[in-house]
């Protein structure tokens, strides 16, 4: 038997702009997680994912099913043929789907780790991240790579999408992305820095309860940027600068000064067209009740928002978020 878990994640700042080469910061959220367990069986390779209504032989799933894809990619990586294994890969997750908490990447990460270990191989964080990135393309279309990175590393990351796609899991270099030097298109290796958080800080994550596929908001931003390149490049620059300054504040032990940056990031995302009345209402409620800063997080239009809180404001901000329509709250400490 072999088991592995992977945390959820939240983007602190820089979403959307990160797709266009600007830095972003993401942090793991350990209050929610995906778990995979691989146990011996005698009926071939079975995938059991009750949350997705799947209890099926690997061979019966379409190759582009995300669960089948990560199993196949992992087996290719460790050099095992699917038909040489007789095992059940069971998956469970407490991470809400399509809410910006990285559910797809966490499920893939847990499976890759558990299955590789079942096959006698321990894969490193960057190896796992590269496999999961391939599957993220099925979920997101043109992901930046930030979700697989923060979840596979399980630590706060400062991520800059690289100009080149990662090597293919079979070891051959991938074709270069077709769409400009910032690497938009096929995918990107990215430059990852994990960094110190000398003074921990607390975030409340509030769920609008509205499922919003990231693929759609990313596609809308792409279209809008094609129509108004100058406006969007300036917005992306603003978000990149926010991420750089946020990292400096966190590293220098001044996370309480992050609030203004987070709120400024929300305004930039609003101008990008990815906020919604529900998200704006939650951001206003958090700020009015004493949060140091607040913003939507992730793809936008639904999903989650975050607010920077302190021990003194935590209860009040939480109550006000629920009154303003939040369907669920998660409070997490970064660092
Ligand atoms: O919705 P999420 O949290 O998975 O975030 C996606 C972040 C984007 O920048 C919008 C897309 C990406 O691939 O980086």
- What are the mean pLDDT values of the chain's consecutive 10-residue runs (335 residues total)? 97 96 96 97 93 93 94 97 95 88 95 98 94 88 86 94 51 30 39 89 96 89 97 98 97 94 98 98 98 96 96 97 97 95
- The per-residue pLDDT for 167 is 38
What are the DSSP calls for 87-117, one per residue? Answer: EEEEEEE-SPTTSSS-HHHHHHHHHHHHHHH
**Cα–ligand 1 centroid distance for 147 (angstroms):** 7
Pocket of ligand 1, beta carbon within 6 A? 11, 15-16, 18-19, 100, 102, 140, 143-144, 146-147, 214, 218, 298-299, 303
Q: What is the pLDDT of residue 189?
A: 60
CA 188 to ligand 1 center in whole angstroms? 14
Ligand 1 atom nearest 14 alpha carbon:
9
d(CA 238, CA 255): 19
Instruction: Please compute Rg for the chain using Cα positions.
Output: 20
Q: Kind of pairing, strands 45-49 and 87-93?
A: parallel
Give pLDDT, residue 165: 44
C-alpha of residue 41 to centroid of ligand 1, in Å: 37
What is the 8-class DSSP label of residue 141? Answer: S
Q: How far is the CA of 143 from the centre of ligand 1 (A)?
A: 7
pLDDT of residue 172: 35
Q: Which two tokens stand for residue 74?
A: 């992992």
Distance 121 CA to ligand 1 centre (A): 30
Point out the ligand 1 atom lying closest to the alpha carbon of residue 102: 4
**pLDDT of amino acid 191:** 84
Q: How many CB atoms lie within 10 A of CB 230?
A: 8
Residue ID of nearest Cα to ligand 1 atom 14? 144
């Amino acid at each position: 038997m072999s088991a592995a878990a992977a945390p959820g994640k939240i983007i602190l700042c820089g979403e959307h702009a990160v797709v266009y080469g600007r830095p972003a910061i993401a942090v793991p959220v350990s209050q929610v997680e995906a778990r995979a367990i691989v146990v011996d069986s005698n009926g071939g390779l079975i995938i059991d994912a009750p949350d997705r209504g799947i209890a099926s032989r690997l061979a019966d799933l379409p190759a582009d099913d995300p669960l089948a894809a990560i199993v196949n990619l992992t087996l290719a990586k460790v050099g095992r043929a699917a038909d040489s294994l007789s095992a059940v890969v069971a998956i469970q997750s407490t991470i809400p789907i399509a809410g910006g908490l990285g559910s797809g990447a966490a499920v893939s990460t847990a499976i890759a780790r558990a299955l590789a270990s079942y096959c006698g191989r321990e894969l490193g964080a960057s190896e796992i991240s590269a496999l999961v990135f391939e599957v993220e393309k099925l979920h997101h279309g043109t992901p930046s790579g930030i979700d697989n990175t923060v979840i596979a590393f399980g630590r706060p990351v400062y991520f800059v999408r690289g100009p080149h796609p990662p090597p293919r899991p079979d070891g051959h270099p991938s074709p270069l992305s077709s769409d400009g030097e910032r690497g938009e298109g096929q995918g990107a290796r990215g430059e990852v820095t994990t960094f110190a958080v000398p003074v921990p800080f607390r975030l409340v994550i509030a769920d609008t309860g509205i499922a919003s596929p990231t693929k759609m908001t990313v596609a809308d931003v792409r279209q809008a940027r094609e129509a108004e390149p100058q406006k969007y490049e300036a917005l992306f620059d603003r978000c990149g600068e926010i991420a750089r300054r946020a990292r400096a504040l966190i590293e220098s032990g001044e996370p309480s000064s992050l609030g203004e940056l987070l709120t400024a990031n929300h305004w930039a995302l609003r101008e990008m067209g990815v906020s919604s009345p529900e998200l704006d209402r939650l951001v206003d409620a958090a700020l009015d009740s004493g949060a140091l800063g607040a913003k939507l997080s992730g793809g936008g239009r639904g999903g989650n928002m975050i607010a920077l809180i302190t021990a003194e404001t935590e209860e009040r901000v939480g109550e006000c978020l629920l009154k303003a329509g939040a369907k669920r709250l998660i409070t997490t400490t970064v660092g």
